[in-house]
């Protein structure tokens, strides 16, 4: 148990740990902001300008512009999640493994 505490202390004191935490926090906050901003922009349009979303894509069609916009927000959220997972499994995991190797030397 004492050895684990020593390893954790070494990791926390390593400047690379602060860099990893900063990069991960910045990246996740950026993606969160993009998703929330797009979602709330749609919600504000629904609340204050619903006529904008009721317009058909092409005159004579029943499909309105709101449907593909909503679908794009959902698909965009999936894609951004995939982007985060890809970066987390690549760059962030490599930095994490490097920290553990350095701490257990």
Give burial (CB, 10 Å; 0-12/13-18/19+) of 44.
Answer: exposed
Q: How far apart are CA 96 and CA 8, in angstroms?
A: 12
Give yes or no for a contact between 34 and 27, defined as CB atoms under 8 angstroms apart.
Answer: no
Which residues have a Cβ under 8 Å from the Cβ of 26 and sit 6 or more positions away?
A: none
For residue 20, count other CB atoms closer than 10 A to its CB: 19
Task: Look at residue 10 in the predicted model and tell me its pLDDT.
Answer: 86
For the entire predicted model, the pTM comes to 0.80
Average pLDDT across the chain, whole number: 93
Read off the pLDDT of each residue in 20-33 and give the average, rounded to a whole number. Answer: 96
Read off the pLDDT of each residue in 18-23 and give the average, rounded to a whole number. Answer: 94
- Tokens 């760059």 sit on residue: 91
- Tokens 């999640």 sit on residue: 81
Is residue 105 pLDDT above 80, yes or no?
Answer: no
Ramachandran angles phi, psi of 99, nearest 5°:
-60, -45
Is residue 8 pLDDT above 90, yes or no?
Answer: no
């Amino acid at each position: 148990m004492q050895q684990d505490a020593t390893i954790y202390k070494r990791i926390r004191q390593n400047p690379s740990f602060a860099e990893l935490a900063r990069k991960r926090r910045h990246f996740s906050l950026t993606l969160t902001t993009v998703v929330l901003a797009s979602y709330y922009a749609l919600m504000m349009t629904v609340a204050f300008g619903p006529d904008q979303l009721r317009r058909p894509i092409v005159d004579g069609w029943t499909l309105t512009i709101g449907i593909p916009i909503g679908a794009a927000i959902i698909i965009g959220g999936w894609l951004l999640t995939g982007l985060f997972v890809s970066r987390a499994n690549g760059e962030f995991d490599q930095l994490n493994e490097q920290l553990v190797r350095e701490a257990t030397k």
